[in-house]
C-alpha cells in the first residue's frame, strides 16, 4: 500500500460490486460437469506481526480483480504470491492451532455497524476518522515470533437457489423478503390504539431508534448481497510461542462491528472442547477417554485447516462445514471489514511502498 490512502471504504465497496458474479450454466454443465457459481476469498493475515491483504480467486478473474483495484486505488502495488497456507501443516506434537467461525447475532436482514455509521462515508479529515477496522489491524500487528493469525472471508453472490442454477429441489427465499418482514415487524410493534369504542383506531408511532433501524434496513436492501462465511485461525508454529491472548484477541477483534439495535458478530463453532466437556474431562480423567477426546480435537483441527486451505465452504468437500449455512453481508458491510486503511491505521507492520511509481514521459529521446 502507499504511504497515504485518502479514500473512504466506499472505494472498496465499488470494487466488491465487481465481484458480484452470478455465473451462467445450462443443465448439462450443472448436473454433469459440476459447474458452480464463482466465489472469492478476502483474507487478512498476520505472519509474526507482518500484516498482509490477500484476495484469492479463480485464475480467470485475475485481470478483472487487478483492473478494478487499480481503478479505485491507483497507487497500490499488486503481486501474485504463493499460497501462505501451504507451509503450515497439522502437527499437534509441535504446533498449536485454534480455529473458529464467526456468525451473526441477529437474522441476516439486519446489517452490522458499517463505515457509514462511523461517518466515514463523508470523508472527514484524517484526524477525525474512526475506522472500525483499525482494531483488527492493531491486533494482527501485535503477533510475535512464531505466531500467525488468518482471517478468511469467503463471499459468493446471493440469489435465489433453484434446480437450474444450483441443482437443488427446494428454492431458498430471496434475502430481500426477509428485510421486508423485519420492516413490517418494526412497524407493527410501533402501532398503538388511540380512542375508545367505535372511535378507536390504530396509529403508528415510530421512535427515533425504530426509524433509524428502518432506514438502515432500507439502505441495506439497496446494496448487492453476498453469501458470506468468516473463519479465523490462530496458529503457534511451535508450542513454546503459544499465547492465549492471541485467541482472546481474535474473538474480540470484531466487536466494533456490533450494535445492540442492529446486528453484529459473535463466536460460532470452534476447534476445541466446550467448557462443559473440559469439566467432564477434569472430573473423569480416564486415560482412554482423555486420549479419545484429544484425538477428536486434532481431527477437527486438521479438517478445519484443510477447509481453510481449499477455501471450501459453499460447495464440497467442506460444504457448510460445522455451520448451517452462510449468512448475508452486503457490499457496504464487507467494505467495512475489508478495505485498505488510511493514515488512521498507523500499524507499522503493514508494508508500505517507498515511492510512487509512474510511467516514463512519452517524449523522452531514444
pLDDT of residue 358: 56
More confident residue, 312 or 183: 312
pLDDT over 90 (residue 228):
yes
Beta bridge partners of 103: 266
pLDDT of residue 288: 77
The domain that holds 88 is classified in CATH as: 3.40.462
For residue 101, the number of C-alpha atoms closer than 13 Å in the C-beta half-sphere is 21
pLDDT of residue 127: 63
Integer angstrom CA distances of residue 323 from 36, 228, 258 = 20, 12, 21
Q: Is residue 351 part of a domain?
A: no
Q: Which domain holds residue 58?
A: 10-172+222-274+304-337
DSSP 3-state of 268: strand
Q: Is residue 50 part of a domain?
A: yes
Q: Which residue has the cell 480467470?
A: 60
The CA dihedral of 286, 287, 293, 299, to the nearest 10 degrees, is: -170
pLDDT of 53-64, one tens digit each? 999 999 999 999
Instruction: Provide the domain count of the chain.
Output: 1
The conformation of residue 350, written as its DSSP 8-state character, comes to: B
pLDDT over 70 (residue 178):
yes
More confident residue, 65 or 195: 65
pLDDT of residue 356: 56
Tell me, rounded to whole angstroms, the distance of Cα 6 from its chain centroid: 23
Nearest to 56 by CA among 36, 84, 77: 84
pLDDT of 342-359, one tens digit each? 765 555 567 666 555 555
Q: Is residue 153 part of a domain?
A: yes
Radius of gyration of the chain measured on its C-alpha atoms: 23
Average confidence (pLDDT) over 96-106? 93
Q: Is residue 180 part of a domain?
A: no
Q: Is residue 354 part of a domain?
A: no
Q: Is residue 35 part of a domain?
A: yes
Q: Is residue 165 part of a domain?
A: yes
DSSP 3-state of 329: strand
Q: Is residue 208 part of a domain?
A: no
pLDDT of 15-37, one tens digit each? 999 999 877 666 777 777 777 88
Please state, in angstroms and rounded to a whole number, the distance separating the CA atoms of residues 306 and 322: 13
Amino acid at each position: 500500500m502507499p504511504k497515504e490512502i485518502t479514500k473512504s471504504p466506499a472505494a472498496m465497496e465499488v470494487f466488491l460490486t465487481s465481484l458480484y458474479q452470478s455465473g451462467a450454466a445450462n443443465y448439462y454443465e450443472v448436473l454433469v460437469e459440476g459447474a458452480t457459481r464463482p466465489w472469492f476469498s478476502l483474507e487478512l493475515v498476520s505472519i509474526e506481526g507482518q500484516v498482509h491483504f490477500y484476495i484469492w480467486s479463480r485464475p480467470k478473474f485475475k485481470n478483472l480483480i487487478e483492473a478494478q483495484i487499480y481503478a479505485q486505488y491507483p497507487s497500490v502495488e499488486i503481486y501474485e504470491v504463493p499460497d501462505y497456507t501451504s507451509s503450515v501443516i497439522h502437527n499437534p506434537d509441535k504446533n498449536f492451532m485454534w480455529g473458529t467461525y464467526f456468525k451473526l447475532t441477529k437474522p441476516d436482514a439486519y446489517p452490522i455497524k458499517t463505515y457509514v455509521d462511523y461517518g466515514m462515508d463523508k470523508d472527514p479529515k484524517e484526524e477525525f476518522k474512526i475506522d472500525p477496522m483499525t482494531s483488527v489491524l492493531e491486533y494482527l500487528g501485535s503477533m510475535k515470533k512464531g505466531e500467525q493469525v488468518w482471517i478468511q472471508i469467503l463471499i459468493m453472490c446471493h440469489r435465489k437457489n433453484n434446480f437450474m442454477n444450483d441443482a437443488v429441489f427446494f428454492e431458498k427465499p430471496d434475502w430481500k423478503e426477509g428485510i421486508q418482514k423485519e420492516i413490517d415487524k418494526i412497524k407493527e410493534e410501533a402501532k398503538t390504539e388511540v380512542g375508545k369504542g367505535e372511535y378507536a383506531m390504530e396509529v403508528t408511532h415510530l421512535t427515533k431508534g425504530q426509524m433509524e433501524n428502518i432506514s438502515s434496513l432500507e439502505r441495506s436492501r439497496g446494496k448487492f448481497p453476498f453469501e458470506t462465511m468468516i473463519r479465523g485461525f490462530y496458529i503457534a508454529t511451535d508450542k513454546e510461542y503459544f499465547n492465549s491472548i492471541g485467541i482472546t484477541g481474535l474473538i474480540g477483534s470484531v466487536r466494533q462491528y456490533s450494535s445492540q439495535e442492529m446486528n453484529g458478530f459473535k463466536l460460532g463453532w470452534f476447534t476445541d472442547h466446550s467448557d462443559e466437556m473440559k469439566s467432564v474431562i477434569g472430573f473423569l480423567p480416564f486415560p482412554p477417554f482423555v486420549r479419545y477426546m484429544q484425538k477428536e480435537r486434532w481431527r477437527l483441527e486438521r479438517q478445519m485447516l484443510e477447509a481453510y486451505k481449499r477455501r471450501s465452504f459453499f460447495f464440497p468437500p467442506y460444504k457448510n462445514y460445522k455451520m448451517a449455512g452462510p449468512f448475508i453481508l452486503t457490499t457496504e458491510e464487507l467494505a467495512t471489514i475489508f478495505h485498505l486503511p488510511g493514515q488512521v491505521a498507523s500499524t507499522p507492520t503493514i508494508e508500505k511502498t517507498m515511492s510512487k511509481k509512474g510511467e516514463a514521459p512519452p517524449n523522452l529521446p531514444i
